[in-house]
Amino acid sequence: MNLKQEAKIILLGVVSMFYVGGTNPLQVNGLVIPKAVVLTAETLKPQKIEVLPDIPMDAMLWKYLRTGLHYLETSGRNYPPNFVHRGGVAYGALGLSRAAVRDVIKHHAALSKFTPEEIFSHAELYEKFAQYYADFLLRDYLKVDYATMSASQVFDILQKAWFLGPGQYKKGHKVISSREKKAQEYIFKSSRG
């Protein structure tokens, strides 16, 4: 175990000492820390992570989508996966929700060995589950043939369904105007290289 890993364990130990039972999360300087944070990356067996199934989405497309989601959800700030956004529904740098994680676990049998607590306490798992969710959301839930579309078209669909939830997106609900404006800025900036 290296010094960085030891520091994480000590920090989480100190944080967990302040959490005393109950159902309310701990708040430190306005940051809500869910009870589940006591699980750390060090508690996961490395082989458990290494056997994740392949994601059919092209790596370059995911990079574009991920960069855009990161820009929209956190203005590019690097939040840990357990960071809770206002509203208490979205987590981390990409605004991934527990409902999204449960959908991924439900539809990928090979991923059912992970708990939401593990995913929101481990950066690598969080990133993988976000990618799995993007693929599932587009391909399976919305029936979008994203391989035949431009990256900006795929992003425009994904960011709306990501924010609204797939059910609300399919019903025709609109995202808030400030988010839509920011999404169009990202598309414009990224098209200019």
* CATH code, domain with 177: 1.10.530.10
Report the pLDDT value the prediction gives residue 39, as an integer from 0 to 100.
Answer: 41
Angle at 185 between CA 126 and CA 145, to 5 degrees: 60
pLDDT of residue 56: 83
List the domain range (segments joined by +) for residue 89.
45-191
Q: Is residue 28 part of a domain?
A: no
Identify whether 10 is part of a domain.
no
pLDDT at 46: 52
User: Is 32 a member of any domain?
Assistant: no
Q: Is residue 24 part of a domain?
A: no
Detail the DSSP E strand segments found in the chain. Answer: 26-28, 31-33, 90-91, 96-97
For residue 102, being part of any structural domain is answered with yes
The answer as to whether 107 is a domain residue is: yes
Q: What's the pLDDT at 44?
A: 55
Using CA atoms, how far residue 93 sits from 3, 18, 20, 75, 167, in Å, is 25, 25, 27, 9, 23
Contacts of 143 (CB under 8 A, 6+ apart): none
Helix residue ranges per DSSP H, 51-89: 59-74
Does any domain span residue 109? yes
Is 25 within the bounds of a domain? no
Query: What's the number of domains the chain is made of?
Result: 1
Specify the residue for token string 């300087």.
29
pTM across the whole model:
0.74
Instruction: Extract the residue ranges of the chain whose pLDDT is less than 50.
Output: 7, 9-42
Q: What is the pLDDT of residue 40?
A: 42
